[in-house]
Amino acid sequence: MIVRLGLLDRDERYLNKIAAYISAHADEAMRLELCLFASLEECNAYLSTNSRLDILLATPELLPDPTALVRKPILAYLSDDKTMTAWADHPAICKYQKASLFLRSIQGLAAGIHNAGGSYTLGGSGTALLFIGACGGVGCSTAAMACAVHQAAKGKRVVYFSLQQNAMPELFFGEQGKSMSDVHYAYQEWQRIPTQENGSENIRSLQLKLKSLLVTDAHTGVDYFTSFTLPVDAMDFTGSEAADLVNVLAAQYDYCIVDADSQLNEMLMQVLPCVQWMTVVSDGTPKCNLAMSRMLESLKVLQGSQEAKMNCEVAVLYNQFGSRARNAEKIPDYVKKLGEIPRYGNALQKDIVAEIAKGNSFDELEK
């Protein structure tokens, strides 16, 4: 997608700095062509020649009245105030936030463009890896995060996507941003786009909106959404929505790591056709081993069901392993064993994730 972006500001040094960052961080999903203007007259002269301008970012000083523009691109105002979210009934973007967040804001605006050049096809070359606990409290999220960090350390583009109602990935990754509640709202807005609209344009709009809502962890490079604002917001989050989001994310990244609740439910059935691997996490206790055995039997039944459309590989990972009360269960031949992660005592989740990520437990998932 090619987006022509106009910047209307007198601060030449700032414009050059932003232009350099955008040029250095070109994205396959959205490529920006920049037009820099130092006055409203320059901008209108450009627009008067019928030259395309998709988005215009302007300072209120140079464009106090939005109706002064001779043509109407998507308009947002550049603000010095981080608390300002709108000006003259148009969105406002803080000039002095992180450049990566500034670019994400532009991607969010670009999601409203339906006539820019380029195309997008759902289902790219990325791999979706699903992690699910055999029962609750076995460290499924810890394992999923470790897998994401492991792949990111290899230079892969990775997104961690939690479907758990009470997941709080921001506690581990440490960066605040847009929540799954915002993602859910954006998806509902996307569904309202007229069905007669070109399919690739429609999907591209969702892709860009999701990109604008993602947070990048500064230490690991993993992208993610923060948790639902309130768990009640997840009540109408459907399986079809989850599947659409997994597909779109997997098309943009090398790896989409999906973290799901420990139950076979309608949402999981919708997501299973979208993933290449499903890893069941167990802690090796008798109760969890029994639950895992029952789950694996259920998955075997599902693999033979045409309705389930499940064709992913299945793996088992033993987490929190180490005491004599914990034993590896004999698993079916069709299930891969990824290994056994030792039990860490009195350690923070962040340290455990970093330690697991250094190992080779997830190498089998790359094959």
Q: Identify the CA nearest to 290 among candidates 164, 145, 165, 138.
A: 138
**Dist. CA 112–CA 86, nearest whole Å:** 17
User: Which residues, 6+ apart, have CB-to-CB distance to 320 below 8 Å?
Assistant: 138, 139, 283, 284, 326, 341, 343
Of the listed ranges 22-26, 82-86, 107-111, 292-296, the one predicted with least confidence:
22-26
> In whole numbers, what is the pLDDT of the chain averaged over residues?
84
Segments in the chain forming alpha helices (H): 12-24, 40-48, 99-110, 140-153, 169-173, 180-191, 199-213, 239-250, 266-271, 286-303, 349-357
Against a cut of 0.85, is the pTM above it? no
Flag whether pLDDT at 204 surpasses 70. Answer: yes
pLDDT for res 266: 85
Flag whether pLDDT at 320 surpasses 90. Answer: no
Flag whether pLDDT at 156 surpasses 90. Answer: yes
* Domains (range + CATH), the chain: 2-110 (3.40.50.10850), 127-366 (3.40.50.300)
Q: Give, in degrees to the nearest 5, the angle at Cα 188 between 208 and 112.
A: 35
pLDDT, one tens digit per residue, over 171-188 is: 888 777 788 998 998 888
pLDDT for res 175: 72
| Mean pLDDT across 238-250 | 92
Q: Identify the CA nearest to 350 among candidates 158, 149, 160, 167.
A: 149
